[in-house]
Chains A and B, each alone.
Chain A
Amino acid sequence: MATNLQFIKEASGTNVTTLSVTDCFGKGYDVYQVILNAESDSTDGYWGLQLIDSSGSTITGSEYDEAVLLMRSYDSFIDNRSATASMVSVGYDDDYSAALNLYVYNPDDSGSYTYGTLASDGGTSSGFIGTKGVFVHHTAEVISGIHFKMSAGSNDFNYINVSVYGVK
């Protein structure tokens, strides 16, 4: 069976603390791919994602399990893991620039948890940092969108561009 990507939506922002990509799911696919490029300002590091429920509200509760390996080119690697995270720690970027490839599974299914697999690039003045990880939103509900944010809410993405595709 031939497979391909079907473009759904893009969203972007400059000098923003968060970016919500609304109504990018619910298009009839089991699997969605999200591609991002961004750059944070010089005062932050971790950035992450939260999901948006069917009413358009960002899910901020402790509803995420995450296991993300932070891989530093200049130092030992770090395990980021939690069964009660309120935000999935996607990557680390400190005025270096970043890229992300994310697959989201089952967001349209009200009877299933929503799963994700991710790989990212980023860095600091010390050097390059990549991540590889997984997450589960451990509540069975329909997910309509995705919300990106800096871990410290006062800091900005200098720019952030997100494209969402259905995997057909």
Chain B
Amino acid sequence: MSSNTYGYIADTGPTQAYGSNNGVFDPADINDLIAENKWSGVGTLELIQTQTVSSATADFTALQESTYDVHFFTFNDVHLTTQTEFGYRLSNDSASSYETGYGFANQRGISSGTFAERKSTGQDSARLCGDIDAAAHSLGNGYMYLYNAGDSTKYTFSTSHMVFVDNTDAPAMEFGSQVYDHAEAIQAIRFGEGTGVTGVTSATISLYGIRYS
């Protein structure tokens, strides 16, 4: 923290709060206030990391879960190696291993087919959508919110919405909700294909934190 706290040389300055900043601020002041969630005028959707993977899982091992209670992910052109589903696993040991045991309840709709429930009370992965396949144009795009990752007293939830071209070349969508129903702190997330969450052909995935959540 700078010596002239938040733009004031006097021993005590005004109380700073989001939406109520007073004084003249240098860059160090602003950085300190941002770190304390007290700086007005900044956006609160903050890019943490973008990964473009090829023949690999997408592992986000620095969620900054002590800073953000809610995370937001975007999925761009997820391409799988075979006809299967796309999903994630969470890590409670800083990415040394990834846990199994997820509940999910999704609704899938296929443009040339039917709408159907996709659900489980105990799958090895949290499902976001299926079935993408290996065809070049069979790609998945969408977004997901992740809640409570850093809170060891709460379950970790997510909500998602994906659009994709499925294994029959039909445009399709799948939305739903997922849970890891263990009250544990989560430090990392792995995205991949199948219930084993193995490497995908390619994908670009971005991770954002929502400040003040």
Name A residues whose Cβ lies closer than 8 Å to a Cβ of B. 3-7, 10, 35, 37, 69, 71-74, 76-77, 96-99, 101, 119-121, 123, 127-132, 163, 165, 168
A96→B104 CA distance, assembly (Å)? 15
Bound: A5/B145 CA distance, A: 14
Residues of B within 8 A of A3 (CB): 45
B interface residues, tally (CB under 8 Å): 35
Number of A-B contacts (CB under 8 A): 108
Question: What residue of chain B has the Cβ atom nearest to residue A129's Cβ?
Answer: B105
CB distance from A134 to the nearest CB of B (A): 12
> Given A37-B154, A130-B159, A165–B103 Cβ distance below 8 Å?
no
With contacts A77-B105, A97-B155, A121-B158 taken as known, whether A128 is within 8 angstroms of B44 at the C-beta atoms is: no
**Contact of B175 (CB < 8 Å), options: A10, A121, A132:** A132
Residues in B lying within 8 Å of A, measured CB to CB: 18-19, 43-45, 69-70, 103-107, 117, 119-121, 145, 147-148, 154-155, 157-159, 161, 175-179, 181, 210-213
A71 B213 Cβ-Cβ under 8 A: no
CB distance from B106 to the nearest CB of A (A): 7
Contact B104 A73 (CB under 8 A): yes
- Cβ B43 vs Cβ A128 within 8 A: no
Q: Are B145 and A101 in contact, CB atoms less than 8 angstroms apart?
A: yes
A123:B117 contact, CB within 8 angstroms? no
B43 touches A131 (CB 8 A): no
Other CB < 8 Å A-B pairs besides A5-B45, A7-B18, A37-B148, 7 of them?
Answer: A5-B210, A72-B105, A119-B145, A119-B175, A128-B178, A130-B176, A132-B159
Given the known interface contacts A71-B105, A76-B117, the answer about A123 and B44 at a Cβ–Cβ threshold of 8 Å is no
Contacts of A71 in B (CB 8 A): 105-107, 117, 119, 176-177
Q: How far is the CA of A129 from the CA of B177 in the complex (A)?
A: 8
Question: In whole angstroms, how far apart are the Cα atoms of A157 and B178 in the complex?
Answer: 22
A4 engages B43 (CB within 8 Å): yes
Given contacts A5-B44, A7-B18, A119-B177, contact A37 B147 (CB under 8 A): yes
